[in-house]
Chains A and B, each alone.
Chain A
Amino acid sequence: MNYIEPHGHMVSRTTDDYERMALAGCRAICEPAFWAGFDRASAQGFYDYFRQITEYEPKRAAKFGVAHYCWLCINPKEAEDLKLAEEVIGIIPEFLGKPGVLGIGEIGLNKNSRNELRIFERHLQVAQDHGQLVLVHTPHLEDKLKGTRLIVEALKNFPAIRPERVIIDHVEEHTIDHVLDHGFWAGITLYPESKCTPHRAIDMLEQRKAARIWMNSACDWGVSDPLAVPKTMQAMRQRGWSREMIQRVAWENPVAFMRQCPKFQPPA
Chain B
Amino acid sequence: MNTWTPPNPVNLADLGFMDARSKLIDLAAFLDRVQRAGQDDDFRVQALKKAAGLLSLDQPTRAREVLLSFSDPGAEPVEKAAMQGALGAFKV
Chain A residues with CB under 8 Å of chain B are 77, 79-80, 110-117, 139-146, 149-150, 172-174, 194, 199-200, 203, 206, 209-211, 236, 238-242, 244-245, 248, 252
Is B78's CB within 8 Å of the partner chain A? yes
The complex places the Cα of A252 from the Cα of B5 at a distance, in Å, of: 15
Judged by DSSP, the binding face of B is loop
Contact for A142 among B63, B80, B88, CB less than 8 A: B88
Smallest beta-carbon distance A30→chain B, Å: 21
List residues of chain A with CB within 8 A of the CB of B85.
140
CB–CB B80/A113 < 8 A = yes
CB–CB B75/A146 < 8 A = yes
Smallest beta-carbon distance B61→chain A, Å: 8
List residues of chain B with CB within 8 A of the CB of A245.
4-5, 7
CB–CB B77/A113 < 8 A = yes
List residues of chain B with CB within 8 A of the CB of A174.
64, 67-68, 71
CB–CB A114/B70 < 8 A = no
CB–CB B77/A209 < 8 A = no
The complex places the Cα of A139 from the Cα of B88 at a distance, in Å, of: 11
CB–CB B7/A242 < 8 A = yes
The complex places the Cα of A239 from the Cα of B10 at a distance, in Å, of: 6
List residues of chain B with CB within 8 A of the CB of A142.
70-72, 86-90
The complex places the Cα of A239 from the Cα of B84 at a distance, in Å, of: 37
Number of interface residues of B (CB under 8 A): 37
Is B38's CB within 8 Å of the partner chain A? no
CB–CB B15/A115 < 8 A = no
30 A-B residue pairs with Cβ-Cβ distance under 8 Å, sorted by A, are A80-B81, A111-B78, A111-B83, A111-B84, A111-B86, A112-B72, A113-B78, A113-B80, A114-B80, A117-B77, A139-B86, A141-B70, A142-B87, A142-B88, A143-B71, A145-B73, A146-B71, A173-B61, A173-B63, A173-B67, A174-B67, A203-B63, A211-B1, A236-B7, A238-B10, A238-B15, A240-B8, A242-B7, A245-B5, A248-B2
Contact A240 B81, CB 8 Å, known A142-B87, A145-B68: no
List residues of chain B with CB within 8 A of the CB of A112.
72, 77-78
List residues of chain B with CB within 8 A of the CB of A200.
63
CB–CB A240/B84 < 8 A = no
The complex places the Cα of A252 from the Cα of B6 at a distance, in Å, of: 17
The complex places the Cα of A182 from the Cα of B39 at a distance, in Å, of: 42
The complex places the Cα of A112 from the Cα of B82 at a distance, in Å, of: 11
The complex places the Cα of A156 from the Cα of B12 at a distance, in Å, of: 40
> For window 1-35 of chain B, which residues contact chain A by CB distance below 8 Å?
1-2, 4-10, 12, 15-16
For the complex of A and B, the 4 pairs showing the least CB-CB separation, nearest first, are A240-B8, A240-B7, A111-B81, A209-B4
